Chain A
Amino acid sequence: MIVSNLEVVPGKRTIKHFGLVQGSSVRAKHVGRDFMAGLKNIFGGELKGYTELLQESREEAYNRMLEQAKATGANAVLNVRFSTSSIAAGAAELFAYGTAVTLE
């Protein structure tokens, strides 16, 4: 499975389009991490817990997108985009979408 955020893949021709595939995941942070984040808000610096949390949930959204692409029978997802939105205090939605295609 080729996944890329370019519109074309070098050396390969797109022979079939399957349209948009997408995956999302909503995650909330837990209390321990929130406490540490509160401390870091005084001292400044990287919030490692949040970095990991967002990375994990982004991966989940990405995998859901890939599953959907596989279900349609595509062998590549092009023009992938990520987007983040905070939907409530303490919860964020991670969203990944792209175009499922078949490459020769």
Chain B
Amino acid sequence: MYDLIIFIVLLALGYGFGRYAESKHYKSIIKREKELNKIPAVATRIPPIRRQDLNSQLVAGNVVISIDYFKRFIAGLRNIFGGRVTSYETLLDRARREAILRMKEEAEKLNAELVFNIKLETSSIHKGRGNSIGSVEVLAYGTALYPS
């Protein structure tokens, strides 16, 4: 009986705080993305030939982000029925965008014009109970080109 009460309380806490944290995070991501749109980040491997006067420097940004209890429960249910696991989709979307933003913030400090050869790397670093994914780390890195 107590187990059930604790489970329901955890679900409710996860639902409430998780939703709040996610919407807050998305607002901040969208706001910062607009500001940092002036530094394009592209996945091309070859830098522009016409611009030979730029310096290059490696920039990186990483973030570790955790899923909440409610969403993990929903994802567990999805394992039975199959289909899109939207709760993990938003988790990974947030993590990738945040990592790219942090990388761009570092590039902005260098006064960079653009960031080349973006690589994204995802790894799950903390497994929850039953081998479900608890939190993911995303690393974004690339070469910032800045005028000397």
Pick out which of these stretches binds chain B: A16-24, A67-75, A83-91: A83-91
A9 to B56, Cβ gap below 8 A?
Answer: yes
- What is the total number of residues of chain B having a CB less than 8 Å from a CB of chain A? 51
B121 to A43, Cβ gap below 8 A?
Answer: no
B47 within 8 A of A: yes
Most chain-B Cβ atoms within 10 A of its Cβ — which of A7, A42, A85, A92?
A: A42
The SS class assigned to the B binding surface is: strand
A11 to B25, CA, bound (A): 40
Say which residue of A42, A45, A84 sits within 8 Å of B10 (CB atoms).
A42
Write the nearest CB–CB distance from A24 to chain B, whole angstroms. Answer: 15
- What is the total number of residues of chain A having a CB less than 8 Å from a CB of chain B? 33
Residue in chain B with minimal CB distance to A81 = B119
A89 to B54, CA, bound (A): 43
A37 within 8 A of B: yes
Say which residue of A5, A37, A54 sits within 8 Å of B66 (CB atoms).
A37
Q: Given known contacts A41-B135, A58-B139, A83-B121, is B58 in contact with A4 (CB within 8 Å)?
A: yes
Write the nearest CB–CB distance from B144 to chain A, whole angstroms. Answer: 9
A40 within 8 A of B: yes
B141 to A4, Cβ gap below 8 A?
Answer: no
Q: A10-B145, A50-B64 are in contact. List 12 more A-B contacts (CB 8 A).
A: A3-B58, A8-B47, A11-B54, A37-B66, A37-B134, A41-B67, A41-B69, A41-B135, A51-B62, A54-B125, A54-B137, A86-B124
Q: Which residues of B contact A (CB under 8 A)?
A: 10, 13-14, 17-18, 21-22, 25, 45-49, 51-58, 60, 62-69, 71-72, 98, 116-117, 119, 121, 123-128, 134-135, 137, 139, 141-143, 145
